Homo-oligomer: A and B are copies of this chain.
Amino acid sequence: MGTLHRGRQSIVFDRRPAILSAAAIGGKKEREGPLAAYFDETTADTTFRQLSWEKAESKMQALALESAKRKAGLHDADLDALFSGDLLNQCISSSFAVRDTGVPFFGLYGACSTMAEALILSGMAVNGGYARIAAAMSSSHFASAERQYRFPLGYGGQRTPTAQWTVTGAGCMLLGQRDRGPCLRCATVGTVVDYGIKDAANMGAAMAPAAYATLRAHFDDLGRSPEDYDCIVTGDLGAVGKAILLDLFRRDGVALEAIYDDCGVMIFDLERQDVHAGGSGCGCGSVVLCGYLLRKLQKGELKNLLFCGTGALLSPLTTQQGESIPGVCHAVAIEGGRV
């Protein structure tokens, strides 16, 4: 077997790990947004009948995993590896969600890039024969994130125009070997990029340079270009970060407008839903991919998608200590196909 490594940061999935199934669970605001119809389950009760926001987030991951397994006709015992993460301290949503499953578990922390990181590692596991079936999963919850990163909800803190709204949602995708349907083709692993942005209420600006760097590396490493994709999405740059990314490419003479969008812009009606610069969080890109984009890939309406998870690697403590906000972006190329 030869090397599957390409250039500085990229890898090729020569056995084309297939997406067997996926599920997206959303909260109340997501249910009121433009992509509501594409989610497997949404709720008007964002506690998901749990006693805390953290338990609610964990419950969402459990529901997403359950739904993805059911769709594929699989059980816990069929899963050889599960890669997941979230935004909560010590990634408790993920570890508590899977503690009754008995599935071999890899905990990840990639901030909001986690779903792309999980997909790359699941793809490596299946492509390399380390797992017959692997799961990639991530979640975020507006209420658990607000009180951890910013203020308790009851405080009623004012939000700045560049702030984003953490998506309440969990997405799960199962990968395995199958000769039809959407599959992973290649991926680019991000490096940590820090342009010195210090405003924790402007994460789009902090992450956009990382998205730019990863996309450039993707095209260079793999000899690909924007024309090879009918859709490129970032996870949660929001309206501010999206504009910056388009501008960075415009300076290179590359017009991405026609094929590029951001999941944080897509998931909400920014004006009507009062979410300022758009959605964010581990769950944002995750549910847009597992809900909306995958259906397009399965119907053949999308043929080549580049999903770019974007993460801001800050903590409340680094911000208090005056640190800037490093970003990271992982990109996965997914080919469409009828199931």
A125: chain B residues at CB < 8 Å are: 124
Q: How many chain-A residues does the 8 Å CB contact rule pick out?
A: 63
Chain B: which residue is nearest A99 at the CB level?
B192
A191: chain B residues at CB < 8 Å are: 98, 101-105
Q: Contact flags (1/0) for A94-113 with B, using CB distance below 8 Å?
A: 01101101111111111100
28 A-B pairs with C-beta separation under 8 A: A1-B1, A1-B129, A3-B129, A3-B132, A8-B102, A9-B80, A51-B321, A54-B321, A55-B321, A89-B89, A89-B317, A90-B109, A92-B313, A92-B318, A96-B318, A98-B191, A101-B192, A102-B191, A103-B191, A104-B191, A105-B190, A106-B108, A107-B108, A107-B109, A107-B110, A107-B117, A107-B328, A124-B125
In the complex the two chains form, is A92's CB within 8 Å of B132's CB? no
In the complex the two chains form, is A315's CB within 8 Å of B92's CB? yes
Q: Name the contact of A313 in the complex, choosing from B107, B110, B194, B328 (C-beta under 8 A).
A: B107
In the complex the two chains form, is A5's CB within 8 Å of B130's CB? yes
A121: chain B residues at CB < 8 Å are: 106, 121
A313: chain B residues at CB < 8 Å are: 90-92, 95-96, 107
Q: Contact flags (1/0) for A118-140 with B, using CB distance below 8 Å?
A: 00010011011111100000000
List residues of A (74-102) whose CB comes within 8 Å of B's CBs.
Answer: 77, 80-81, 85, 87-92, 95-96, 98-99, 101-102
Does A52 belong to the interface (CB within 8 Å)?
A: yes
In the complex the two chains form, is B192's CB within 8 Å of A98's CB? yes
**Residues A190 and B104 in contact in the complex (CB < 8 Å), given A2-B129, A124-B128, A315-B89:** yes
Chain B: which residue is nearest A177 at the CB level?
B3
Interface SS of chain A: helix, strand, loop or mixed? loop
The answer for the CA separation of A166 and B72 in the assembled complex, in Å, is: 43
In the complex the two chains form, is A117's CB within 8 Å of B106's CB? yes
In the complex the two chains form, is B95's CB within 8 Å of A328's CB? yes
Does A11 belong to the interface (CB within 8 Å)?
A: yes
Chain B: which residue is nearest A194 at the CB level?
B99
Q: Name the contact of A11 in the complex, choosing from B89, B92, B130, B192 (C-beta under 8 A).
A: B130
The answer for the CA separation of A5 and B52 in the assembled complex, in Å, is: 38
The answer for the CA separation of A87 and B90 in the assembled complex, in Å, is: 7
In the complex the two chains form, is A4's CB within 8 Å of B99's CB? no
Does A326 belong to the interface (CB within 8 Å)?
A: yes
Q: How far is the CB of A179 from chain B (nearest CB, A)?
A: 17
Q: How far is the CB of A110 from chain B (nearest CB, A)?
A: 5
Nearest 5 CB-CB pairings of A with B: A128-B128, A104-B189, A90-B315, A95-B313, A99-B192
The answer for the CA separation of A313 and B313 in the assembled complex, in Å, is: 20
Does A243 belong to the interface (CB within 8 Å)?
A: no
Q: How far is the CB of A128 from chain B (nearest CB, A)?
A: 4
A105: chain B residues at CB < 8 Å are: 189-192, 328
Does A230 belong to the interface (CB within 8 Å)?
A: no
A102: chain B residues at CB < 8 Å are: 8, 191
List residues of A (41-70) whose CB comes within 8 Å of B's CBs.
Answer: 51-52, 54-55
Chain B: which residue is nearest A55 at the CB level?
B321
Does A316 belong to the interface (CB within 8 Å)?
A: yes
Q: Contact flags (1/0) for A122-166 with B, using CB distance below 8 Å?
A: 001101111110000000000000000000000000000000000
